[in-house]
A = this chain, B = another copy of it.
Amino acid sequence: MTTEVEMSRMSWTDYAEAIATRDPAVLIPVGSVEQHGPHLPLATDCLIPEAIAKAAARRTGAIVAPTISYGYKSVPRCGGGQHFCGTTSVDAATLIGQLRDIVRELARHKVTKVSFVVGHMENLWFVTEACDLALREVKMLGLEAPRLMNVGYWEFLSKPTIEKAFDGTFPDWSLEHAGIMETSIMLHCHPELVKMERLTEHGPATLPVYDLWPYDTAQVPDTGVLNTAKGASAAKGKLFYDEYVQSFSDALVDAFGKSPSIR
């Protein structure tokens, strides 16, 4: 018998029983609706952390809450920029407020461990602010504060795997937008949503080390792909995915299994 890991598919009684009896971590994918080139779907940054979170939940007994679908605005150097049609983003205050509210609710449920699983680099610092504000409010309310984790899943990729998958051509995480890593994982997890035939060969975009408004859209490829995804494969996707799931699962145990003395 398999256990349901998706909160959205559980009845409240099943969820409540799980919280009361197993003290599971709750994992919250935080994605985006953002252009990912002509070959990947707009929800790529939701689908990847969802897949990783579900797999890690199955290994560790965690529960996966509904995904935050709309993320922070795209910047040129890691998401191509906010000028693309289809990219549908929210302001910082909106994202922060939503995550803060959800943590407050989970604290009311007596959840003690929460991990945001970020699939969109631009979200990271706003998740940080949400965690800080949520814990401040939870403290003000006199609730027991859950432990919180903020993870950009790509941070778990090890140097050996990078070497193996990129043959020394790994550019930089930010330029991997819609590139080999994301495309490969999508080929592994959602092959029906990938259109490899639309890919073209091109080198990584060259972008300055600072941000400019308005930015020069000519520096961003018209496709929105910052570095070609040619060379992506389901096999590489499995390599990435398996490592992410393993390392994230380990991190959950490592962080949340520690003695409560650090609280």
**What residues of chain A have their CB less than 8 Å away from a CB belonging to chain B?**
7-16, 19, 33, 35-43, 46-47, 65-67, 69-70, 73, 75, 82, 84-94, 96-98, 101-102, 105-106, 108-110, 122, 124-126, 128-129, 131-133, 135-136, 139-142, 145, 147-152, 155-156, 193, 195, 198, 208-218, 223-224, 251, 254-255, 258, 262-263
Contacts and interface: CB of A to CB of B under 8 A. Distances in A.
Contacts of A148: 212-213
Contacts of A224: 12
Q: Which 3 A-B pairs have the closest CB atoms?
A: A12-B86, A8-B43, A12-B35
Contacts of A102: 70, 88, 90
Contacts of A122: 125
13 contacts: A9-B41, A10-B41, A12-B85, A14-B38, A70-B101, A82-B132, A87-B105, A88-B105, A88-B109, A90-B102, A94-B101, A97-B97, A215-B262
A89 to B, nearest CB: 6
Most chain B beta-carbon neighbours within 10 Å: one of A89, A91, A141: A91
A231 B157 CA distance: 32
Contacts of A42: 7-12, 15
Nearest to A19: B85
A150 B109 CA distance: 26
A106 to B, nearest CB: 7
Most chain B beta-carbon neighbours within 10 Å: one of A96, A101, A215, A217: A101
Nearest to A215: B262
A146 B88 CA distance: 15
B213 A147 contact: yes
A122 B38 CA distance: 34
